[in-house]
Amino acid sequence: MDAESLRATQAPLKDRYRDAPDSAVLTLSARGRLGEGVACSLETGKQIAEAGLHPYAGGDGTQLCSGDMLLEALVACAGVTLKAVATALGIAVRDGTVTASGTLDFRGTLGVAKDAPVGFRDITLAFEIDADADEEQLATLMKLTERYCVVYQTLKNTPALPAPGIKLTG
């Protein structure tokens, strides 16, 4: 997709969202089914992905770790956003990689140490790209990628997250 095609595709959406701001609001959801052992199968739209315990938490490594999936979601979103921004700016990105890494202390999630955090204590995101762009263009590309990446912004600016509810069935 080139810049003109991207603009043509997005222009009517932007117009509609300007005219009717509520039409831009969408609630995304994810659904999983509790499985055998300590597992949860996710309905990804393409295939079933089964998440389980990370080996550091007692898993055997055959199932996906939700922490890895969070980092993968960040990489996917940041990569797509960078490509869209580059396209809009007319920067041809020939190749590249996006890497996210995060540090966890499993003592927290296993209840071993109350002072150990549950969750990532830090996450880094990095890009290596092959493109004909000067330093100013790269700075703009990074600034706009950061600004418009949904997953990055969600992690950076924690949304309201009420306590989960539970409903018994059957």
Output the 3-class SS for 107-148.
HHHCCCCCCCCCCEEEEEEEEEEEECCCHHHHHHHHHHHHHH
Contact of 100 with 75, CB cutoff 8 Å: yes
Query: What is 65-156's CATH number, 3.40.50.1820, 3.40.50.300, 1.10.10.10, 3.30.300.20?
Result: 3.30.300.20
* In the chain, domain spans: 31-64, 65-156
Answer whether residue 95 shows pLDDT above 80: yes
Closest CA to 144 of 60, 87, 69: 87
pLDDT of residue 154: 96
pLDDT of residue 32: 62
- What is the tens place of the pLDDT at every residue in 22-49? 877 877 666 667 566 666 676 666 677 7
- What is the tens place of the pLDDT at every residue in 110-143? 888 899 889 898 899 998 889 999 999 999 999 9
pLDDT of residue 151: 94
